[in-house]
Amino acid sequence: MKTVSFTDFRKNASSFITAVEFSKTIILLRRGKPIAKVVHFSDKNRKTPSWKKPGIGLQIPGSDLASAIIAEREPE
């Protein structure tokens, strides 16, 4: 992790952004206090929310569920 003054970042932004592209992290300082963290962006870290994941299917061996329900509803 590298710390850089905001003024220095403005003057050499291109070289700092290139460093960030290669997974370097930069902390920007203004008047000696940290104001921002510049990190490499990656889509790989995003996870699929649980509500978008496929659920488990209910299966009855030997027949499908709809047939089992219909057979159970019919009077004998």
pLDDT averaged over 10-residue windows placed end to end, the chain, 76 residues: 92 94 93 94 75 75 77 81
Strand order from edge to edge, sheet including 2-5: 2-5, 26-30, 33-38
Widest Cα–Cα separation across the chain: 86
Q: Decide: helix, strand or coil at residue 30.
A: strand
- Give me the domains of the chain, ranges plus CATH numbers: 2-42 (3.40.1620.10)
Contacts with 6 (C-beta within 8 Å, 6 or more apart), sequence order = 28, 29, 30, 35
What confidence score (pLDDT) does residue 57 get? 72
Sign of the CA dihedral with 48 first, then 54, 55, and 56 last: negative
